[in-house]
Structure 1
């Protein structure tokens, strides 16, 4: 059916940057559309025997009042796949993301967070959704031109600008340089560097020199510098790290002398904040599997004598630590997109912390883990969502979990205003698509 065109009515937003419609009784995931629109679609994936189809809206017959002209000329059907919602006003983008989070938590965890809103991350991009992405991996064509991949494709859209990237990323010259012999190039605009750095990714699978970048994080009267590999993980929005750290510390409210866990600690962002909060009489155990990130964490936390950094899988380290009699008053859980999983959630709850702050980049993984936590006696008592990725479908959530006995009278604040296994991520996405198709109106 690929290439077939038809008219249809667009329904609710789905998890993944599309809206849901029906064609002859079959579910269709429609990109470049908005709820309530009537559009002409072109099928991009699927056949007569498939449970659902994917399509692009190639013509808008009845437009949503929230539709705008995409600011980027490369956004649209068959073009760059880096953004999902450039055709929606920024406030409506956040409404769509909030709807996705609410639906996922309701369906997968039975949780009602009806009043949830998605809040902007203050700073660059908060008002127009542009100029915020500090880390971009560009793909390279066979001719050596840099660009961005099209949606669900290996094809490269050659571009001369990327409006969601920071200007230092573009001013690095990455899009004007010939990258013969490369499959891609990473560009990193770290807050502690004067210029963006470029790391070529060679066609033979090797990479160029991977320099250490310096990221500076500060909020209120707290500030810290973090070394991180240019190709390592760091939040791509310049205001995200400080926003998330401040929110986690506020939710957990650590006090002097407490014991804390920072799981999937990366280069030590949350561990540093926890360390200062629990003081010299407290203790922080930071756990990370990636060896290079651990090296940076050891350097970043060298002056924090109350922090212990351990390398290894979180479940393995937690099992060993539990046998050694570890205690935990508060926990920060910042897993990869696939989530923490039942085993890790079980290990955390067995330690009996008074509070767990869960930082989630995928609402479906968060919902699955929250459902497990409730089975094990921990309830969701607070939830905030942040738009750290404007123009895309991604949303960051920070959830507070507390023991059921202490949280029985607590409710999620309805007035709030606003990567261990990539294969596992793909499987989860496939499962999500199937479930969305089954539940589509």
Structure 2
């Protein structure tokens, strides 16, 4: 008989970390994906999902043999909120766990042996400048893990939210005004809040300063959430590509023009493509010297220049995909900087690039999502030497 959710099983030994914020454990040959464990620990597991025949899901109910890397979670709702995966792990070991995930994905999906490290970026708390709260209960909340249940934001606020955002009492007031709609809070210039598409609680856009470059971003639009991410990633991309004046460059999945602006500042003629038309409109205003195409990249591949020098590729979590990679590989670029928020998608696309004669000469990983399982990578791809035979 299959045990139902809520059943406590074990003890089990927590095995290796897996992509997705959990670790792999086994009970009588059954795989259990366990949250809030650390590899090497012995734990009891409270099952949360047993619907799958091949594996179950669970959460640590009791630690029998604890890891030296286990620490008290800074947030009182860390165990129930779905926003953070690793608050129970000391920050240095969080980066080690992410390193293992990146290395495993690259090896398994692309045949690449990677011995790099996940680089720390600032404080692991109060880094997130973009927050989306649910308000259906009349207060500001966040979703529980793999659930529509609402976890109310605790006193003192979300521990990874930017400290310059609204205080708890102000959040509650905003949530009452926005009840029933998602409420977006962006901390830029100025601090803004927007509820859904209908109720305006603040400004619809904020100004983000990247170095000395101001960029307008929709309050509820996409922007790298870590306070330091735009500058860190821009520096990494520029260091990798070494753009030269007069070159032709692409910024694909360009958002509001973060990398387009950086390339243009180096004298590059930039073409950008962005599916979200609102973001594309911001990009056109943020980087007027660039040529911005609004629409899905897959539908506009034939509108790209037939010969380019450098490419920045920053796809969504699903990756770029075979059609896009095939097109980019034939544009004659000397280098491609691939910015990835998902190591599995990065690895799949790198495998496709390899079939077309491209290889990563440098892969860096950055801890731009502390306390969560997410990690950002920047890979420099260059054409491999042709076989003279």
TM-score range, shorter chain: over 0.9
**Does structure 2 conserve the Cα–Cα contact (< 8 Å) formed by 1:140 and 1:179?**
no
* Offset, 1:120: 1.4
The equivalent residue for 1:227 is: 216
CA contact (8 A) 1:30 1:55 kept: yes
Partner of 1:182: 180
1:331 matches 2:314: no
Q: Distance in 2 between matches of 1:112 and 1:333?
A: 22
Q: Which residue of structure 1 aligns with residue 275 of structure 2? A: 289
Equivalent runs, 1:340-419 vs 2, <5 Å: 340-405=320-385
Distance of 1:376 and 1:94 partners within structure 2: 32
The match for 2:252 among 243, 248, 263 is: 263
CA distance in 1, matches of 2:182, 2:276: 22
Following TM superposition, the consecutive aligned residue runs of length 4 or more in structure 1 with deviations greater than 3 angstroms are 205-210
How far off is 1:166 after superposition? 1.3
Flag the 1:179–1:149 CA change in 2: closer, same or farther, 3 A. Answer: farther
**C-alpha deviation, 1:140, in angstroms:** 1.8
Corresponding residue number in structure 2 for 1:11: 15
Instruction: Report 1:161-200 matches (<5 A).
Output: 161-171=157-167, 173-177=170-174, 178-179=176-177, 181-190=179-188, 192-193=189-190, 196-200=191-195
8, 16, 27: which is aligned to 1:23? 27
SS in 1 for 2:6: coil
Map 1:8-87; keep pairs closer than 5 Å. 8-47=12-51, 50-76=53-79, 79-87=80-88
- The secondary structure found in structure 1 opposite 2:44 is strand
| 1:119 paired to 2:119 | yes
Change (3 A) 1:42 1:214: same
Cα shift at 1:4: 1.9
Task: Tell me whether 285-294 or 354-363 shows the greater mean CA deviation.
Answer: 285-294
Aligned to 1:89: 90
- CA 94–331 in structure 1, closer or farther in 2 if over 3 Å, else same: same
Distance in 2, matches of 1:181 and 1:145, equals 8
- 1:180–1:225 distance in 2 versus 1, CA, 3 Å: closer
Instruction: State the alpha-carbon separation in 2 of the partners of residues 399 and 148 from structure 1.
Output: 33
Q: Distance in 2 between matches of 1:152 and 1:208?
A: 29
- The count of aligned residue pairs is 379
Whole-Å Cα distance in 2 between the matches of residues 232 and 80 of structure 1? 23
Post-superposition offset of 1:400: 0.5
Using the alignment, how far apart are the partners of 1:153 and 1:242 within structure 2? 34
Q: TM-score, normalised by structure 2?
A: 0.94
Deviation at 1:206, TM superposition (A): 4.2
**Contact map agreement 2:16 2:23 (CA 8 A) in 1:** yes
Q: TM-score, normalised by structure 1?
A: 0.83
CA distance in 2, matches of 1:168, 1:274: 30
State the match for 1:153 in structure 2.
147
The 5 Å alignment of 1:211-250 reads 211-218=204-211, 223-250=212-239
Structure 1 segments unaligned to the other structure (5+ residues): 408-441
Distance 1:5 1:354, change over 3 A: same
Q: What secondary structure, in the 3-state scheme, does the structure 2 residue paired with 1:174 have?
A: helix
Q: How far is the alpha carbon of 1:290 from its aligned partner?
A: 1.0
Report the aligned-residue RMSD: 1.8
Decide whether the 8 Å contact of 2:42 with 2:64 is kept in 1: yes
Which deviations, in whole Å up to 9, do the C-alpha atoms of 1:165-221 show, x marking residues without a partner?
A: 11222327113542464232111101x32xx211113xxx74536612100001xxx
For 2:386 and 2:368, locate their aligned partners in 1 and report how far apart those are by CA, in whole Å.
Answer: 31
Query: What is the SS of the residue equivalent to 2:304?
Result: helix
CA distance in 2, matches of 1:19, 1:67: 14
CA distance in 1, matches of 2:229, 2:121: 6
1:108 matched to 2:109? The reply is: yes
